[in-house]
Amino acid sequence: MLSYQHGYHAGGPADIHKHRALAGVLSLLTRKARPLTYMETHAGRGLYDLTDAMASKTGEWRAGIGKAVRDDHPYWTALDRVRAHFGADAYPGSPLIAQALLRAGDRCILMELHPAEHAALAEAIDAEVHKRDGFEGALALSPPAPRRGLMLIDPSYELKTEYAATADFVRALLAKWPEAVVMVWYPILPDRRHTAMVEALGGQVHETRFPPHKGRGMEGSGLVILNAPHGVEKVL
């Protein structure tokens, strides 16, 4: 089932939480000169236009990037670099946030299954872009070279079974690539369906709650980070 389109949610509060954490963790990992691999299981289209029909329909970005207050976090370095290139109405997905912070010798490997999202992603970024199932592709390509690296797992959770599948995937991934820094994003919904997955993952948890909003079921945004780099509390 591929009905989810991130364009409705780009730049919303959950994106700000996830993308700040991503930029923060990458800024820590890129302090060391040794090259790294950035990999993503569910990459999305990479670049969004906050004036297009999808973003305008939900207006979610207004409560996210529309309200975000500039500070000295590396998230703004990434956003500024993308907007310098694509304009002030552009909002980067996680692949472009990552690309803005990666160095010349680093690798960027992205999985996206939706044909139109994949085509847009391949257009937006100069990286290794695969049209294949994220879990299957990431396992097949792990461990990558360089082995130092970060895996972002950001499924759409359209099916309740994706929570258990994500926990199973991370277990299998770490068996093949034990040193990977792993970040798993999840929505905080009224029925707390993420609880078993978060317990099974067992990493460092970082959650943020959103002010109540008419018509939005999601109450907050969560991340689990495994093999978190030293200093992660500061960037979160």
| Among residues 7, 13, 93, 144, the one that binds ligand SAM under rule CB under 6 A | 93
Contact status, residue 26 vs residue 138, Cβ threshold 8 Å: no
Report the nearest approach of ligand SAM to the CB of residue 44 (Å). 3
Residues numbered 13 to 72 that lie near ligand SAM (CB under 6 A) are 15, 18, 42-44
Binding to ligand SAM by residue 112, rule CB under 6 A? Answer: yes
Report the alpha-carbon distance of residue 167 to residue 120 in Å, rounded: 29
Piece of 52-60, 111-119, 169-177, 212-220 that binds ligand SAM (CB under 6 A): 111-119
Report the nearest approach of ligand SAM to the CB of residue 82 (Å). 12
> In terms of Cα–Cα distance, which of 179, 178, 169 is closest to 148?
179
> In terms of Cα–Cα distance, which of 136, 141, 135 is closest to 127?
141
| Among residues 4, 76, 86, 210, the one that binds ligand SAM under rule CB under 6 A | 4
Binding to ligand SAM by residue 11, rule CB under 6 A? Answer: no
Task: Rank residues 43 and 125 by Cβ distance to ligand SAM and give the closer one.
Answer: 43
Report the nearest approach of ligand SAM to the CB of residue 194 (Å). 14
Binding to ligand SAM by residue 117, rule CB under 6 A? Answer: yes
Contact status, residue 62 vs residue 21, Cβ threshold 8 Å: no
| Among residues 49, 128, 133, 219, the one that binds ligand SAM under rule CB under 6 A | 133
Task: Rank residues 43 and 235 by Cβ distance to ligand SAM and give the closer one.
Answer: 43
87: left (phi over 0), alpha (psi -120 to 50) or beta: left
> In terms of Cα–Cα distance, which of 184, 224, 222, 186 is closest to 203?
224
Active site residues: 154
In sequence order, what are the residues at sequence separation of 6 or more whose Cβ sits closer than 8 angstroms to the Cβ of residue 54? 5, 7, 8, 10
- Using Cβ positions, the residue closest to ligand SAM within the complex turns out to be 93
Report the alpha-carbon distance of residue 79 to residue 28 in Å, rounded: 17
Report the nearest approach of ligand SAM to the CB of residue 228 (Å). 19
Q: Side-chain half-sphere of 151: how many Cα atoms within 13 Å?
A: 32
The contact set with ligand SAM (CB under 6 A) reads 2, 4, 6, 15, 18, 42-44, 93-94, 111-114, 117, 133-134, 154, 156
